[in-house]
Structure 1
Amino acid sequence: MKIPLMKIGALTCLTLGLFNGQAFAESGITNACSSFGEIQPNENPSHKQINCLLTNAAIEAEIPPEVVKAVATQENGDWRQFNEDGKPIISDDGGIGLMQLTNKSGYDQKKLENDMVYNIGAGVEVLSGMYSRRDLPKIKGAGRRVIENWYFPVMAYNGTKPVNSPLYQENGKMNVNAYQEEVFAEIENQSYLNDTKLAKYPFKTSDFQYDRDSTENIVFKNLEYTLTDPTHDSVYWFRAGDKVVTTSSANIRKDISTTAGAVTVPPNKSLIITGDFDYHESKGNKFVFYPVQTEDKSIKGYVSSAYISNRPSIVKDTNKPVISGTAGKAIPINSTFNPKTGVKAKDDKDGDLTNVIRVEGKVDTNKVGTYNLTYTVADKAGNVSKVTRKITVYDQVTPVISGAGNKTIKLNSSFNPKTNVSAKDNADGNLTSKIKVTGTVNTKKKGTYILKYTVTDSSKNVATVTRKITIDGTKPVISGANSKTVGYYSTFSPKSGVSAKDNLDGNMTSKIKVTGTVNTKKKGTYTLKYTFPAFLNKYDHFFVEEVYFKRLKKKQTHLKVKSAQNLFINCSNQL
């Protein structure tokens, strides 16, 4: 018997003196299968003969052969006692032969290795002994021929260790890797051809007491179960004259070895057993064939034991509806989404069940994320299908950066690269605070500087803007402040005809400040100074237009230009 992590002694129960290795009648099995030939030393019999040996050993011990053959498959998938060299198969953990038994007192080591019939008989005795244990649970009202009632004896055959607990203690989920679960899966597969599902126990974690990290056996707190699903009797005790029904559509073969000329009958078709079962030669067939006929005797032949039962009540609709159209889907943010669009449900008995699909969960199309929807539908027989679907709301729209246009600023002025710059995203809203600026601007040095503005939204969409900042050192230009001679006693306005213009600020005439005065009642030369007041901008260059006055003795107009921007005002008594 193979078990993860450790080897469990299969014959522990023999210490109780239940069998002592002699209860099994080897000759009975051998005689029952003698028609298939004499068993040769160190040779594996044909598959058909091994099927016969396992079946009859199980029947003699009143164990469902379905169970024994599934255990043999789990222990030794090829149903072999010897390898290609005629040597007994012994596993790394000490398992011997077809039934993978370990050597314990009461059994002959050599016979376990070299005698397949003895090996099968020993394995069947061990399994039967497990059924007799009083510390293992049973099904209320069920007997030895009920397949489901062997769940815990099969478990014990491998070991009642935590690794074989039916449930994971930490989360209550089924332990599908437990030894007995794998054996019962073999029964459904090889004895029922996946046409019939065995009843499930209503397990709770409180039913089992154990420490997952310990090698101590499980203590079973609940020793009796009532199953809500119908149980299944073994089909190997049918006799001629018994009435059975088909559990699904089945072929009535004219000959066991071929489907040629077979007649198909529907589910729940009544048949009468007309003789003993027989075996098929194919290694894939681990069931048997019964000779049958319809009640009106119109159809006669052989039917696989996988498709018949003595309990019509267990023939029911076990097929779940099929839900389609629930593949995962990605949709853009702010789009329209109907969770039932394109989703359908169909049942083999009830037909279209789309209108009764229930959907649990919601999708917020205004918010990026992954949402889970659960689709559930049930047919009239109570078979329920559930499908989980993932809907991803995505955002591929990049944020928008505003206010980061190219700009020219004055030399030595102040500059904050984030002033009036903002970022907005369709999903995240205002992302201004997330803007990152790379590059620098030196306002004390004329030139053009490149700044890179980057912002990333929560969906990793990146917006990038490149901005040019130009530092301009061009001075404002004062016009009309030329040197001038005015008449004695005339009217003179120092700002008349004088204007100022800046390449960035435009007309600045109103900001000109004039320092100095001109007395037209007194001849002489006066100096006027034209400036831009400091309150305009402390970093602005102001421009000085100086007017120098030189008093003249002669009555004449005298103009002397000291620089391009010097203005001389000469007052004479000549009009």
Structure 2
Amino acid sequence: MKKGFYALLLAGSMMGFSQFQVHAAEITEIEENDSSSDAQFILNGDTIIGNIGDEFDEDYYAFDLDKTSKVTIKINNLDHKGGFLWGLYDLDDENYPLSNSENVSRTESTFGAILPAGSYFIRIENDDNGGKYSITETANPIPMTTEDYHDSPETAFLLKSGEAIYDSISTTEDYGDVYQLELNHKQKVHLDFTNTEQVPGFSWEITGEDDEEINSKDLKMNGTTSYSAILDKGIYYININNDSQAAPYSLKATTFDDIKKPVIQGAKSKTIKRKSSFNSLKGITVTDEHDGDITDKLKVSGKVNTQKKGSYKLTYKATDAAGNTAKKTIKIRVK
């Protein structure tokens, strides 16, 4: 975790407030906040009323994040005239804005970002006669399994079967996240990916040690995608790629030793007489090597009209706890 030089100022200013408690106070700009080193600290939820004077005037506001957070910055032009520019910067890279410098003229400007733990500042400068403004910064921490960077196979986060991982593609990340899955023998692998924000933020892919793609898919807005396959012994990498916007997500990998399908018994094609009684489930059972009797998991699709001569298809399906699915189709002839 990066340590910001605003830590001492934070400790002196917060007077017992948690980093992520919403302070929600309205205060006035402290002058001489005209550089990143003299920036005025803004607490979570505070609104500061400031003023941009002559064409060389600049105001700086700083905040620290202890955890990866969803940050919202709102700036209002209170005079509804003139205008000014503002941008968000990482303290470690003052020359590269995390947001485009946006003109605030007769209106308001809102910027949302997902930022990792660190120190940041906001710069407001004159663009067209300046004016009076208000600035509000709020930060809501995102549940994270780890704050460590894992953006390459060398730094990949090791997945454990059945453990849900909560992470985020942040605004400052270009390469996404990488996870490693180790299989000591041939196993069934099931992956669940959830995009928890309503933004078209990213996609995922799974590759082998040779970097050859096995499968990939886009994560839909506020949705879940799954992937299941039987994979050989080896090391695999799951890559979460930043395609559009920053967003939090969850990932869960579950492995199963059971790679055999259940067995559907008693389902056979046959001929019956018209107007005779027929029960599509009678005498049908399902057994599984690991789960035993799973007849209650049996589903059948298709219908047989015993009042009408003809040939009818019935399809039986059953899935065990490991996700292995058995399927069998039969024909019932009514004569």
TM-score (norm 1): 0.18
More strand by share: 2
Whose radius of gyration is greater, 1 or 2? 1
